[in-house]
Chains A and B, each alone.
Chain A
């Protein structure tokens, strides 16, 4: 049993998959930090402060300077992690900033889960090995690169499964077979959070549809761990698609912001590397930008060379000698220099 769990967790994966997943997670972390309503938390009277877990060391909500500082540092660190500059240090800094900011947001009394999946799925990447897209080794599957994505997959599958399990534990089959979902929808329609309250109001009036919706949600959540054992990639992609539809629906009918969950489900469950490679090929085919003015220069060769030396390009243009990296300032499209013709 333990050996089987180990084989599942520590299955080989490519460095490229690891890199793409980490970069997208860093981007989502950065967006959550930059766009979250954290500045409004500053100035909270201490009597209203209800700190979660590790924030119990604080007596009150931090001041505006601390919150703004966390947002600036976190956004900057996430940007650096996306750009690939000192990612091993930048990613954990961004993660810690989001952990504290989202923890403060949850310290008003209600435990919020909006960022919990993102934070937990990103934990394995805090210790993930450094990798670059162009590394030859990054294309070959290895256990060294596989475990962070596999562990994040376990987290994603587990979060959905435990959400379904909690429904069964607290409510049992009544969660589906009673009018539970209809009352949730009636509450949402009257609550004032929803952009289009007619949608939950209409759905609540359709008993069969509401029961079907509840059954579909419970089925999706309880069967989510299938992604851990399914051999076909399409199964994981289908669950990611279902998660996106689920969270889009949650926003539409309940007005709840769970886009970070949808993003995490997609990036962790779907191997985006083929898409990235296709985009790289597209970029190679697109013409260099035309610049008017003096010189009318095409891209300098250090840029063109770097793109053309992408492994995909190497396969396509093995014989293309422009792949040799030329010093900055020289030009790829420049014809080879020949001695000037002798003047007559």
Chain B
């Protein structure tokens, strides 16, 4: 077994252990924070709704969208940090897919921060955080 192979194993395992110990995310190397955060009865989340031309407001049906659109929760988590034009681009992408899948023309997209109960989910409280007019 050559020195090159030993060096390769050494570098690879050092990077693997360092990411694991110090919770560094350099995918596929990871801090492995799977389900590590403590859950309580209070569930905080995000909700994106679409207002259609007839004035009806309903949640954007991400489950019916292609796989490319399924990271919405994490996009929403970072929504506050996005620049205004980046937020508008995201809203435009969702509105476009909604129209393409037969959801009708979207005139506004609203983003809410939600709080609900894990044990007795009943819609909980929601606070309007962002509005994308005419996406």
Contact = CB atoms under 8 A, between A and B. Distances in A.
Which size class do A's interface residues fall under? 35 or more
Contacts of A123: 12
B86 A53 contact: no
B33 A166 contact: yes
Interface stretch (B18-26, B51-59, B104-112): B18-26
Nearest to A112: B27
B67 A41 contact: yes
A127 B5 contact: yes
B33 A170 contact: yes
A110 B118 contact: no
Contact of B16 (A10, A61, A155, A178): A155
A154 B78 CA distance: 35
Contacts of A259: none
Interface in B54-83: 63, 66-75, 77-78
Contacts of A174: 38
Interface string A226-266: 00000000000000000000000000000000000000000
A151 B6 CA distance: 11
Interface in A24-59: 37-38, 40-48, 50, 52-53
Contacts of B41: 179, 183
B77 to A, nearest CB: 8
A212 interface: no
Interface stretch (A80-88, A99-107, A284-292): A99-107
A9 interface: yes
Contact of A43 (B20, B68, B71): B68
B71 A124 contact: no
Nearest to B10: A9
Contacts of B71: 48, 50, 108-110
Contacts of B84: none
Contacts of B93: 45, 47-48
A144 B1 contact: yes
Nearest to B19: A162
Interface string A132-169: 00000000000110010001001100110111011101
B14 to A, nearest CB: 11
Interface centre among B39, B43, B78 (most CB of A within 10 A): B39
A119 interface: yes
Contacts of B72: 109
A110 B43 contact: no
A96 interface: no
A326 interface: no
Contact of B67 (A9, A37, A109): A37
B76 to A, nearest CB: 9
B118 A183 contact: yes
Given A48-B90, A183-B119, A187-B118, A162 B27 contact: no
A154 B90 contact: no
Which of A10, A42, A61, A111 gathers most chain B CB within 10 Å?
Answer: A111
Nearest to B96: A45
Interface in A211-227: none
B41 to A, nearest CB: 6
A180 B35 CA distance: 10
A186 interface: yes
A276 to B, nearest CB: 25
Contact of A143 (B1, B26, B30, B92): B1
Contact of A166 (B16, B31, B86): B31
B31 A61 contact: no
A89 interface: no
Given A45-B89, A48-B69, A111-B27, A192 B63 contact: yes
Among A52, A144, A165, A174, the most chain B Cβ lie within 10 Å of the Cβ of A165
A108 B1 CA distance: 41
Given A109-B73, A143-B1, A119 B21 contact: no
Given A48-B71, A103-B27, A170-B37, 6 more contacts: A47-B93, A48-B69, A108-B70, A109-B72, A113-B32, A175-B36
Closest 6 CB pairs of A and B: A108-B71, A109-B74, A40-B67, A109-B71, A44-B68, A162-B20
14 contacts: A40-B66, A47-B93, A48-B90, A109-B72, A109-B77, A113-B30, A115-B28, A161-B20, A162-B32, A165-B21, A166-B34, A175-B36, A184-B35, A186-B118
